[in-house]
Structure 1
């Protein structure tokens, strides 16, 4: 953690909705005039799309499941921790982009499923904002969570997570349902041992819970709408949280435990702003004092 160069990380698995949360942070940064250096978790994948497919095919030929983007073997955890460490100490570092789509790749003169060049982060940033799979990962070799000043978990219930992934990968990326199912199965060990433990290290978790039938996520025709979900907001340390004020400001909210607030899904963006803006401002005030 760093007073002069704070780091905010939003972490959650593929299809969990971290991109939606990231857009909300973008609105906050623009409205509040905050200069954020943005880092995408995909930038720290170890392999290109073609390389991953080759590794998976080779593993399946000998009766094994190949690597997954959830686990340490397919990611540059040491390099990501080095970035967090350097940014916390000096406000600098390097990142790149994973080029998902044809248009994005063409702008960089690359093939889709590859990476852009490594480039330095903006020199005048006030904070680093990470969004991806591994913002709070801890292994025998790395401890990313120790560097993060505000760690946010985005955790839909598992069937809702799978519905969101199936919808995105079939409709936006052209995969079949069967290939998405295979990816989910291949990732399960890494999901349990690498992704899930992060949510015990987060400062705040936002968990979306559907209130419609999601029993079979692989035949769902659409993602539950915001008004068809609830959001469970859990604070690791509730000290200093003004729950009566939050209950008054978030219509239809209630508490289930001393550290847990439940809000209607339609109130998610408002709850993000109400809860996170004061915390972001506190980090920047601490930065100002340190400088």
Structure 2
């Protein structure tokens, strides 16, 4: 998010920010109950990744209505005491639904389901620019283990149980989204992550390579990107590989012109109204 905030600030773009957590179906306490109820009926794969725990229809409606009117219904998920204090609510709860201000240039969604497609919804079809950011799976597990143990006080066994419980939804609802994205950024460690469950440290950006894949390479100035991203190379006609520490620069170079084109198109549409 920080990289995109820099782009928006530098280019003077007024953005409506939406967090994916705000479209979970259950607050923190309700989710614990829902997981326990699922276990009681023999469902050991209920997770935040799947449709039962999320408001996919409402997310699709937000994208659709924003594209048509520049507004839509949103709320916030209050993660901790600091976020909850201004609202006088408990952490792990939602703020009431409200209408977005109608004077923004773009809607920026950051979350797990911005390109989800199911039998009943097509969120991806309502997004103008779909960006995937994902580590390889072992690195993702190392990061989750480190975060949940350090921040939430979970045991390694408890985190492993969560990973296993989420796996069906991860395969069915998270992975397919990266086939709908316009640009994917995947971080690949160059150190041994063979057993993520015993890793003591998260591989750093300097211990990683960054794989950047373009769904449609037409119009992408690859010679320019290669010249600006030192030590980068192309592994396929639509794929750049560069050092992991270049992620921020790569995003700035790739997405600034794309975002400006989106704003120009929106301004042209407004002028015709």
Tell me the TM-score range normalised by the shorter chain. over 0.9
Conservation of the 8 A alpha-carbon contact between 1:94 and 1:118:
yes
Q: What is the TM-score normalised by the length of structure 2?
A: 0.96
State the structure with bigger RCO (CA 8 A, min sep 6), 1 or 2. 1
**Which residue of 1 is the match for residue 29 of structure 2?**
50
Partners of 1:157 and 1:55 in 2: CA distance: 29
**Which residue of 2 is the match for residue 41 of structure 1?**
20
* 1:185 maps onto 2:194 in alignment: no
Structure 2 alignment gaps of length 5 or more: none
* 1:241 maps onto 2:216 in alignment: no
Displacement of 1:61:
3.1
Q: What is the number of equivalent residue pairs in this alignment?
A: 270
Quote the RMSD (CA, aligned, Å): 1.2
SS at 1:218 equivalent: helix
Displacement of 1:64:
2.8
Displacement of 1:58:
2.3
Q: What do residues 15-67 of structure 1 show as CA deviations (whole Å, max 9, x unaligned)?
A: xxxxxxx1211111112111000000000000111111112122223443152
* 1:73 maps onto 2:52 in alignment: yes
- 4+ runs of 1 displaced by more than 4 Å? none
Conservation of the 8 A alpha-carbon contact between 2:71 and 2:102:
yes
Q: What is the TM-score normalised by the length of structure 1?
A: 0.90
SS at 1:150 equivalent: coil
* 1:208 maps onto 2:165 in alignment: no
Conservation of the 8 A alpha-carbon contact between 2:45 and 2:168:
no
SS at 2:118 equivalent: coil
Conservation of the 8 A alpha-carbon contact between 2:208 and 2:244:
yes
1:176 alignment partner, one of 155, 159, 172: 155
Q: What do residues 162-194 of structure 1 show as CA deviations (whole Å, max 9, x unaligned)?
A: 111122222123222222111111110000000
My pick for the range that moved more, 226-235 or 48-57, is: 48-57
Matches within 5 A, 1:146-165: 146-165=125-144
Partners of 2:125 and 2:67 in 1: CA distance: 11
